[in-house]
Structure 1
Amino acid sequence: MARGNAGVGRSTKKLLRAIAPRQIAVIHHQDIDEMGAAGLIEAKVKAVVNAAPTMSGKYPVNGPLFLLNAGIPVCEIAEEYFAFFADGREVVIEENFILHQGFRIPYTLFTRERWEQLNVLAGRNLGSRLSEFIDNTLHYARKEKDFVIHPLAVPLLRTAIQGRHVVVVVRGSGYKADLRALKDYIEDYRPVLIGVDGGADALLESGYTPDLIVGDMDSISDAALLCGSEILVHAYPDGRAPGIGRIESLGLQAQCIPAPGTSEDIALLVAFEKNAELIVSLGTHTHMIDFLEKGRKGMASTMLVRMKIGSKLVDAKGVSKLYHRPVKWRSMWIVPLAGFFPLATLALIHPGFRHFFSVMWTYVKFRIWS
């Protein structure tokens, strides 16, 4: 069915930084989200072996469907078999077993029919999940309100933000299309570009260099960290910053900002506290499914941050779906005109063309006068 070397990782987003094309991804990822699936597809993996439920049915997820539509088989194994796999060693997926390092590991093939069954179940569970999510959000909002009531202590930055537009990019669903939709805006306004973790890679992939990188540094590539941007590491409220070790290992310098909430929240607050004129968010997580896919059971800090920023915030997530301008055929006359222009220019400057038109003009005059 499939044969290749294993790329093993409990964290899909960390594995995607290292996995090579045509490898077989061995992961432990319950409810594979859209971004995880998109990353596996972009990495051109041959197959996915998952030691967790690919889709639990607790809430709707489209990641497994994306993988199936891309022709990537998904094999589910029992959790205890995950430890059997070694990175870089050959994996052979046969009809009923996975062969690896002398082990015959049973698996279940995740199918489109299975996704459809679980998607119906997820729809039935949606109401109860939403109720739990709202309760959790309100519970933590009461605990975290002081975080947004008081100004965030932002260190002195070399990136000038005051009075400028700021675009905060998160590597969320649809981020590529939304960045393309904002191309003219970015060219015209030259906003400050802030990449949140993998959002820095998203900017680089689209031809931009982030001015500032904010995050806990768990899903950003070394190439992005080394691109010359200013780096702000999101630390825990007690000051612990696991991401700073990675920065130092690359010989880079960074400042830390201890705070609760998500790195997206911190990036938005940094722009706000530094008096940005307008803050445009792109690819950010804004609804229940977004946060459940991130393993968060509420969105207290995000809700509070957005309330604080208010009218300064423009959410551009999904802007690429807003309007697709149709071709106006009455404007297509410019195409042949554009093609005629270089020919006319050549006729004016090339001696051969000039001689040809001189002979033709003499012939026309001769015919008229005769």
Structure 2
Amino acid sequence: MLKIPARQRSAVGLPGLAGTARVERRTRQLLPRLRPGDVAVVEHVDLDRATAQALVDAGVVAVVNAAPMISGRYPNLGPQVLVDAGLLVVDGIGTAGLAAVSDGGTVRIHDGGVYVGDELVAQGREVDPGTVAAELDLARSGLASQLETLTHSSTEFLRREQDLLLHGRGVPRLATKVAGRPVVVVVDGQDAERELAAIRPFVREQHPVLIGVGAGADLLRAAGHRPDVIVVEGELPPAKALRAARDVVVRMDRGSHRDDLEQLERMGIRPLRFESAATPEDAGLIIADAADAAVIVGVGLHATLDDFLDRQRVGLASTYLTRLKVGHRLVDATAVPYLYSGRVRPWHLLLVMLAGLVALAAAVAVTPVGQEWAQQLNDTIQGLFS
């Protein structure tokens, strides 16, 4: 059972967990408003891992979902992230329950119920680790239908983005020189920090172009690197990071007007527009590929089948077709330590030469001639100090 810290318990002594409700049907729009200790109230079918991790990072103490956390269509990974982080999770309160919770008001969660004071305003079910495990097993039977959906959505995505994917039209031209150089694309994925640390020797010795996607730019800076290119959508990285980058690319839907451009221009930054339905991380890969990168190392990308399917419908097609376009250039960061052993330096050669000389001296020393030389050397040294 989830152990609730005393500071999170109801101030009036009622059972359950209390916090300020932040209500928004679209989870992505809610994230910038969340503060530590809040209760996130959303309507998000099949919560994906990236969004769940963003909720955890925001410091919420509970997530209440009007929709089912796991619908059974496929094994989405978001609920597992929430329960592993120790959050209280409730789903199925319905649209009426969502409307009954006031944004900014104090709510209390107990046994799947949402209370205002002692009044029950919405009822759902508490999602615990056992529930998540059982429903994910059942959901794996939905993979076939999900793959069928992938076929249809990929066809539609390719129809709309064929000029971009097939001919590279619409990709912004970078000021950063990329052609013939390795590129590292960093996304704020689950293991991105560990993967970035593992390829530090590669980054230090090969001096690749560093592309930070969203919060991936913050990861690069935290690791002591300066991003060359930053790809943004929605929430912007710190102004210091943006000004340090040579290129700032804003990914937006075709024909849309984004306030991000005006905000960046007011900061003295001239952003590059990238109009596409591709996800930001796929936009980073497409930019590197179009600029003729020698190799693209992906940090924090979705690599497994479950990761791949744990995307929104458009994102699923975007990821699938982008991987096909990038093809042989893309290498996952987890493989780099096995493929790259580091540059041969002069001191490496010196150590090999010294080891060879020691081995040669040892071999000569056991021969009669070697023993005679050793005796002569010993006599000479004694003569010098006598």
TM range (shorter): 0.7 to 0.9
Is contact 1:17-1:221 (8 Å) kept?
A: no
When structure 1 is superposed on structure 2, of 187-196 and 201-210 the one drifting more is 201-210
Coordinate RMSD, CA, aligned: 3.2
Is contact 1:265-1:305 (8 Å) kept?
A: yes
What amino acid is aligned across from residue 64 of structure 2 in structure 1? Answer: V
Which residue number corresponds to residue 174 of structure 2?
A: 157
- After superposition, residues 194-343 of structure 1 pair within 5 angstroms as 194-215=211-232, 217-222=233-238, 226=242, 228-229=244-245, 230-238=247-255, 240-241=257-258, 243-248=260-265, 252-285=269-302, 289-290=306-307, 292-296=309-313, 299-316=316-333, 318-319=334-335
What amino acid is aligned across from residue 51 of structure 1 in structure 2? Answer: A
Which residue number corresponds to residue 65 of structure 1?
A: 80
Q: CA separation of 1:13/1:186 partners in 2, compared to 1, >3 Å: closer, same or farther?
A: farther
How far apart, CA to CA, are the structure 2 residues paired with 1:288 and 1:187? 31
- Normalising by structure 2, report the TM-score: 0.71
1:297-345 CA-partner distances (Å, limit 9, x unpaired): 57445444434433332232x549989xxxxxxxxxxxxxxxxxxxxxx
* Local SS of the residue matching 2:248: strand
Which residue number corresponds to residue 345 of structure 2?
A: none
* Local SS of the residue matching 2:195: helix
Report whether the alignment pairs 1:37 with 2:52. yes
* Local SS of the residue matching 1:92: strand
Number of residues paired by the alignment? 321
Deviation at residue 103 of structure 1 after TM alignment: 5.6
Which residue number corresponds to residue 104 of structure 1?
A: 120
Report whether the alignment pairs 1:89 with 2:89. no
What amino acid is aligned across from residue 165 of structure 1 in structure 2? Answer: P
How far apart, CA to CA, are the structure 2 residues paired with 1:214 and 1:231? 6
How far apart, CA to CA, are the structure 1 residues paired with 2:273 and 2:112? 50
Deviation at residue 194 of structure 1 after TM alignment: 0.8
What amino acid is aligned across from residue 67 of structure 2 in structure 1? Answer: A
Report whether the alignment pairs 1:7 with 2:29. no
Deviation at residue 122 of structure 1 after TM alignment: 0.5
What amino acid is aligned across from residue 99 of structure 2 in structure 1? Answer: A
Q: CA separation of 1:70/1:307 partners in 2, compared to 1, >3 Å: closer, same or farther?
A: closer
What amino acid is aligned across from residue 149 of structure 2 in structure 1? Answer: E
* Local SS of the residue matching 1:93: strand
Which residue number corresponds to residue 331 of structure 1?
A: none
Q: Runs of 5+ in structure 2 lacking a partner?
A: 1-15, 340-386
Q: CA separation of 1:227/1:72 partners in 2, compared to 1, >3 Å: closer, same or farther?
A: farther
* Local SS of the residue matching 2:313: coil
* Local SS of the residue matching 1:123: helix
- Normalising by structure 1, report the TM-score: 0.74
Q: Runs of 5+ in structure 1 lacking a partner?
A: 324-370
Is contact 1:130-1:288 (8 Å) kept?
A: no
What amino acid is aligned across from residue 169 of structure 2 in structure 1? Answer: L
How far apart, CA to CA, are the structure 1 residues paired with 2:65 and 2:239? 28
How far apart, CA to CA, are the structure 2 residues paired with 1:236 and 1:248? 19
How far apart, CA to CA, are the structure 1 residues paired with 2:96 and 2:323? 42
